[in-house]
Amino acid sequence: MSQPSQPSQPPQPVPVTEANVAQFLQGVDAFVCDCDGVLWTPQGPIENAMAALRALRACGKKVYFVSNNSTLSILDKLKAEGFPVEEDEIAVPATVIARHLQQAGFTKKAFVFGVEFFKNVLRRSGIHVVPEERTAALVDENISRCVEQIDLDPEVGAVVLDVDVNIRYIDLCSAASILKSRPQCLFLVGATDTLFPLPSEKIAMAPGPFLKLLEDITGRRAEVFGKPSPAMVTDFLQATHRFDLSRTVFVGDALKQDMGMANACGMQKLLVFTGVTRPRDLDSCPAELLPDFVMDSIAAFARLLEAHPGGPQGPQGPQRKD
């Protein structure tokens, strides 16, 4: 009697080492790098990360950047770390949402939950952002008075959600009312993370819980522009620079957001362990989110490429182990 077949094991990630880095680079034209957890952490820059990026460029590889973080200028931060980069080589939700609205010929007001940096990106693209001013005034703790302040501005044609550390109850009610009553109103979201990764027991909520709140109340589903959606790569970076996604490596530190984005774009997946993921997490990782390659840190490229200056060119790099 034949033995029952055993379920096949998913391919296991390949560590990038001195022994295979040359072959690895043969199948790569470009790198798309996440920033938080890959290039820096809340404690500061990751040592030799910038040296690694310079080494990749020196051997002829294009280097681009994506981040769900629209609260600061990634351009200024990279330049401050000594890495020259152009604005169109960086994609964050704010810039991609602004381009999307421009290309759609959007002329109405956008009701925006976001920090001032995020809002200013939209404003510079000609988007009329509301609420126009922050207010620290307390609301009268009377439900009837609260209802009176819910704003159903007829000129609002989009609700945009991202990180907003000054989010207000009345604004959430206004946005929900607009989305519920106007099916034609756009509903766009940048980052969908649930929490910000913190090196402590403290919890800091990201936009995810507020997104779920608005979706549950209104029955609407937002169009996502942050990771793991492919939009920052396919609609911005690849649309601008026309690189081959199959010969591009996405470097990230998160399984769902980063490896998920790489899957959605058809890119090769390289996971580093300087951010939110640890090697033990791969034991329980869904097969589709397993990376193709792993490294302790992107900084290792600075050392590995010293032995392989110039960067080999040629056919496909090493395959994952079955």
Tell me how far apart the alpha carbons of residues 69 and 257 are, in angstroms, rounded to a whole number. 13
CB neighbourhood size of 82 (10 A): 11
Set 29, 34, 88, 296: catalytic member? 34
- 36 counts as catalytic: yes
76 carries a ligand binding annotation: no
Does residue 68 have a known ligand-binding role? yes
Pairwise CA distance, residues 270 & 25, whole Å: 12
69 marked as part of a ligand binding site: yes
Q: Is 36 marked within a binding site? A: yes
Distances (CA, A) of 55 to 67, 300, 310: 21, 10, 9
Q: How far apart are CA 303 and CA 296, in angstroms?
A: 13
Tell me which residue of 300, 278, 270 sits closest to 13, measured CA to CA.
Answer: 270
Among the listed residues 29, 36, 193, 292, the single catalytic one is: 36
67 is in an annotated binding site: yes
Q: Give the angle 211-67-174 at the CA atoms, nearest 5°.
A: 25
Q: Within 10 A of 153 (CB to CB), how many other CB atoms are there?
A: 13
Asked if residue 153 belongs to a known ligand binding site, the reply is no
Q: Are strands 44-45 and 40-41 parallel, antiparallel or unpaired?
A: antiparallel
**Residue 166 is labelled as binding a ligand:** no
Give the residue ranges of the annotated binding site for Mg(2+): 34, 36, 253
**Residues labelled catalytic:** 34, 36
Give the residue ranges of the annotated binding site for substrate: 67-69, 227
